[in-house]
Chain A
Amino acid sequence: MDLSSKHALYIFGAFGLAACLLTMLTLWILQADRKIRKKLQKKESVEIIFHHSLDYEKKIPKKKALQQNLLKASEQRKRQRESLKQP
């Protein structure tokens, strides 16, 4: 191998080493970032569902009360109709 091609090999080797190390660092950081964001997103989505369910649970008693009122009203009307039917 002549001197110029040997030197070219050294130059490519140096650039290759730097490129390798910088790429490894970039990939490692991007992977760690994606991993932690995925975990956090999962945790936060559970939080959002939890908070939504809390809101829903607060609404349910009101809904239940309304349903019970409607049921009471319909039973009252049924009793009135039955009392009118009787002689």
Chain B
Amino acid sequence: MYVHVPASWGAMAVYTIMALLSGWGFISRAPLLHLIVKALAPLGITFTLISLGTGAIWGKPTWGTWWVWDARLTSMLLLLFLYLGYWALVTLLEDEEKALTAGAVVALVGWVNIPIIKWSVEWWQTLHQPASILRLAKPAIHWSMLQPLLCMALAFAAFGFIMTTLCIRIELNKRKLRSLQLRDRKNQTMKEAA
């Protein structure tokens, strides 16, 4: 629980931030925002994998099975596919601008899945347990368990922040290197023409 729940929160929060920044990037036309979205993707993929893996490990002794086509689990799997689809688009397309734009569209449109993940348990009354913390009523979990859970959530958030910062630095350095290489190529072409 102390790994599965923070990882699930992290996976959904990262996708929400990606969708928000993508939308803001389209409005403001700031390319840096799309770069930040790309930097967030690996973190989101990792959190989703942890959530699905630890959920399966929880499910085996609790429900007697590694996997069920439960609404919450299926929508979480769909989130993983959305993340992988985004990553495939931004890394495989040659034109970086087109890749980031296409990825941003995936991030924006795919955000529809997030409320489905959150409310699926209430809507379809499925196997996964309902919300104990993020709900309209008082948390259904005792403070002695809520405290370490919130500590782990904070730890995951701090880890996520550090990794995202490093990823943003990598993307900015890649751009810098590319612009230096393009300038060299331009100078060489001008010398040859002269």
Answer whether A36 and B173 are a contact pair too, CB < 8 Å, given A18-B50, A21-B46, A47-B180: yes
Interface residues of B in 50-76 (CB under 8 A from A): 50, 53-54, 57-58, 60-61
Give the docked Cα–Cα distance between A39 and B181 (Å).
11
Query: In the complex the two chains form, is A18's CB within 8 Å of B177's CB?
Result: no
Interface residues of A in 6-22 (CB under 8 A from B): 6-7, 10, 13-15, 17-18, 21-22
Task: Report B-chain residues with C-beta under 8 Å of the C-beta of A21.
Answer: 46, 49-50, 53
Task: Report if A70 contacts B (CB, 8 A).
Answer: no
Query: In the complex the two chains form, is A28's CB within 8 Å of B42's CB?
Result: yes
Task: Report A-chain residues with C-beta under 8 Å of the C-beta of B18.
Answer: none
Q: In the complex, which residue of chain A has the Cβ closest to the Cβ of B52?
A: A17
Task: Report if A54 contacts B (CB, 8 A).
Answer: no
Partner of A29, one of B58, B170, B180: B170
Give the docked Cα–Cα distance between A36 and B178 (Å).
11
Task: Report if A58 contacts B (CB, 8 A).
Answer: no
Q: Is the interface of A mostly helix, strand, loop or mixed?
A: helix
Q: In the complex, which residue of chain A has the Cβ closest to the Cβ of B167?
A: A29
Partner of B54, one of A14, A30, A33, A40: A14
User: Given known contacts A17-B50, A18-B50, what 15 new A-B pairs fall within 8 Å (CB)?
Assistant: A10-B57, A14-B3, A17-B57, A18-B3, A21-B49, A22-B46, A22-B159, A24-B46, A25-B43, A26-B163, A28-B42, A29-B163, A30-B166, A33-B166, A33-B173
**Which residues from chain A sit less than 8 Å from chain B, CB to CB?**
6-7, 10, 13-15, 17-18, 21-22, 24-26, 28-30, 32-33, 36-37, 39-40, 43-44, 47
